Each structure stands twice: as structure tokens, then as C-alpha cells.
Amino acid sequence: MPEEFLREPGPGGPIFEDGGARSQVQVERRRRSRELRIDNMMCGARSGQGRRWVVSCVGTLFAVLSALSFQGSAAQAAEKSAKKAAVNFWVISSRSCPLGTKVVKGAGFDYLRYDQDGTPAWGDEKQFHASLSKGAPVCVSVHGSFVDWGDVATDGLRTAKWLRDASPGRPLNVVMFSWKSTGPFTFSTAPLLFSALPQIDAELLGRRSAFIGLYLGRLVADLPVGHPVTLIGHSHGCRTVSSALHVLGGGQVQGYVLADRPKHNRRIRAIFAAAAMDHHWLNPDQRYGRAIDVAERVVNLRNHRDTVLKIYPLRHPLSNKALANVGFTAEDRVVMGPRAKRVQELDVSGVVGSSHGWPAYYARPEIARSVAEHVYFLPAVSGTKSSTKEKADETRIR
């Protein structure tokens, strides 16, 4: 890990309230609060019944796989064992990392690993790297705004199961990358969200999610060689993913660059769900213009029925429409030139409907099956008549 991975901010200076290196008192307070944070995550804003249901599902799945591993031929037993070994789920949090300031002595992520029974335990970067299944893809999911710490594990475990069920015989490392996604003017009361100034909240969180892309870029850059990576972003998490790809390609975000960029070429793909970002931001010379130089494939899950993003253009005058609503336009593809071949769109309007939340996506196994080739880096396969319809470079999931 380099001594520092971000340069000083540009002329605008720091833009967030959490700047500055943490003092020894802050580090000590963080250490004492870890157990409480695990308790909060285990409880969360969602019901305990829902959390137990997830853990029960995971435990039951492995119990069945363990029983089946003793049946059949030796080859079948080895295949069942591979299914059991395919699970490797971590929550990696940047919530304690400073924003809009110089970072020294590494990124300071918090690492939380979940075992086969759904029990969490704190770890570190060395343990995380050692746990990765050799040669297996690493899938990093990044949540959007207004996500409480207690919901991170619930969404992460269900996301891992959703992806694993799409290709159960293949190993996969799954990471839920968390960031401080509640605004300074916002307070959350389950199951409703209330905000005094929602437009200001959304704008601040959008900028914050982009800055967090520097940390996500650092995480990807420091992964061991030999692991292809898929980055899945939801809502503002798509900005985080785009930002990470942009800085990995040598770009700047809010006056910062990623120092000591990896010299080896890693296979990286990206999947956008409910992308809360302007549709043209991946075009050359735009905000994240170098992202597609790094990603060999960018899959946009388009949903023209998303009610939250229909008001996206109203956040300020002359704003463009959201990528999730309109997709990559014909003009965007012309501007991209040959790089347009790297983008693909899946229309999920028929299965997700008007919903914006991430649970509406991981509740649909047909979406997981459609993106499995990108998550697991499989050879491309054509869609089935029952699930997809091909039309003008777009796959419609139904």
C-alpha cells in the first residue's frame, strides 16, 4: 500500500466535512465501537425476522450441499464440494475514511467477513486477500444513497446468494463495498425516509459517491493479480463505479488522482442498476471519460419506468436525463466511436417496474441469469425465447 494514494485537492479545496487524518483518540474510539457496529449491522433497520431468514437460507443451502457431497460418483462429489467452497463474502467499509483530504498510510478500510453460517468477524486486508478463491472473479457491489449500516449485510448476503444461484457450480468472491451514504441534513426512520432538504442531500451524496470512487479504485488496484473484477453499482453507487474506472484509467475526480496505478492489465467489467448519473458522462472528455478505456464491458440495466429517476433532470437547470431511464443514446454511441462496442444494455423495465431500490433487482433471478456471463467471465450466450428478446443492441428481460 503506497504512503499516499491521493494528491492534494484542486483549487476548490476540500469539499466534505470529514477531512483530516484521524487522531489517536478517533482510532481508539473506532476500535471500541466495532462490536457495537456488528450488533447494529445484525439488527439493522429491517426486521430481525428478515435477517434470520437470510442467515437461515444460507445455512440451509450449505447443509444441503454438504449432504449431497457424499452422494454419487467421485466426480459428482468434487462438484458438490466446489459449490460449498464457492462462497466467500466480505463487507468492506470506507465509512471511516476521510473525504476530500489527503490520505496517508493506506485507505483504512474496515473488513468484515461472513462465514457459512452468516456470522461476521472482523478481518484485515491481508486476511481478505488470502481468502480469495484462486483465480476466481471478484464481484464488488456498491450500494446507493440512504443505506444504513444495518442494511449493508442484509443486502450483501442476498446479493451474494442471487449471484451464486445464477451459476452455483462456479467459485465467486463477493464484496459489499459500503460508504457513508446518509446526508448531513437527513435522518432515517424505518421504513420511511425523511429529509429536511432532500435536493441538497441528493446533490451532496452524489458528489460524495463520486469521491468514494477513489477508494474503490484503490481497493481494485491492490487486489492480487489473477482475479478478474466485476463492479456492480446501484443508483449513486454507479457514480462510484464510474469514478473508480476513470481514475484507474488515469483520470481525475474532484482534483484527485489515483497514485501508483497498477501496471498490470486486469480484466474489469461493470454493471449499472438504476444508474443515477447523466447518460453522457462516460463519453470521451466527459466526467468519467476514461472509464470505458478500463472496462472491457459496461452493462446498463435500463428501466424507463423508474419513478425516482424520472425527476432526476429536475435537480438543476439544463440537467440531462438519467442513464437508467434513457440508456446510452444514439448520439452517445456516435461520440464513443469504436468504444461503443463495449457498452451493452438490458431493459429490465418489465420485471423491475417503477421500483428504484436494489431489492427489486436482486429479487429477480432472471436478471442474475442475464448478467451471470459478465460476473463469472463466461463465454457469451444468446438469450432464450422465454426470458429475452433481442432488439437494436438491447436485450429485453421479461
pLDDT of residue 390: 44
Is 107 among the domain residues? yes
Is 138 among the domain residues? yes
91 SS3 class? strand
Whichever domain contains 336, its CATH number is 3.40.50.1820
Dihedral angle sign, alpha carbons of residues 285, 286, 291, 297: negative
Contact by Cβ (8 Å): 208, 94 = no
pLDDT of residue 200: 72
Is 356 among the domain residues? yes
Please give the residue range of the domain that contains residue 57: 24-397
Indicate the number of domains in the chain: 1
Is 13 among the domain residues? no
User: How far apart, in whole angstroms, are the C-alpha atoms of residue 162 and residue 365?
Assistant: 7
Indicate the pTM of the whole model.
0.78
Q: What angle do CA 365, 370, 374 make, to 5 degrees?
A: 120
The CA–CA distances, whole Å, from 63 to 257, 306, 314 equal 46, 38, 50
User: How far apart, in whole angstroms, are the C-alpha atoms of residue 139 and residue 87?
Assistant: 12
Is 137 among the domain residues? yes
Is 33 among the domain residues? yes
Is 10 among the domain residues? no
pLDDT of residue 61: 46
pLDDT, averaged in runs of 10, over the chain (398 residues): 38 38 47 58 46 45 44 46 64 92 68 91 96 96 94 96 94 97 61 54 89 95 96 98 97 90 90 97 97 98 95 76 96 97 98 97 98 94 45 65
Is 292 among the domain residues? yes
User: How far apart, in whole angstroms, are the C-alpha atoms of residue 168 and residue 174?
Assistant: 13
| Among 163, 169, 202, 211, CA closest to 183 | 202
